[in-house]
Structure 1
């Protein structure tokens, strides 16, 4: 399997942290040298390991925001 290269260009924030120290974060990340996308996933404390996540374009992030704003919580 090919190595995945990434560069965290901006840390937006952390949503939660597990007892093992992993943090669920929203970041702006460039994957394999491509244009950066917004990324939501779990990270080990020093970002040396990552869990599965989802990447979103600006347009997708805006649509997600609109959906969340419409929820009654």
Structure 2
């Protein structure tokens, strides 16, 4: 399997932290030298290991924000 290269360009926030110290974070991440996208996933404390996540374009984040704003939570 090829190495995946990533760069966290900007940390936007932490949603939660589990007992092992992994944090669910929203970041702007550049994957394999591409334009940075919004990325939501679990990271270890040193950002060396990661869990499965979700990567969204700016347009997708705008749509998600619209949907979330309609929720009664």
Where on the TM-score scale, by shorter chain, does this alignment land: which range? over 0.9
Counterpart secondary structure, 2:12: strand
Q: Which residue of 1 aligns with 2:32?
A: 32
Q: Which residue of 2 aligns with 1:10?
A: 10
Task: Measure how far apart 1:35 and its partner are.
Answer: 0.5
Counterpart secondary structure, 1:33: coil
Q: Which runs of 5+ in 2 are unaligned?
A: none
With the length of structure 2 as denominator, give the TM-score of the two structures. Answer: 0.99
Aligned residues: 73
Alignment root-mean-square deviation, CA: 0.4
Q: Which runs of 5+ in 1 are unaligned?
A: none
Counterpart secondary structure, 2:34: coil
With the length of structure 1 as denominator, give the TM-score of the two structures. Answer: 0.99
Task: Measure how far apart 1:19 and its partner are.
Answer: 0.6
Q: Which residue of 2 aligns with 1:56?
A: 56
Task: Measure how far apart 1:6 and its partner are.
Answer: 0.1
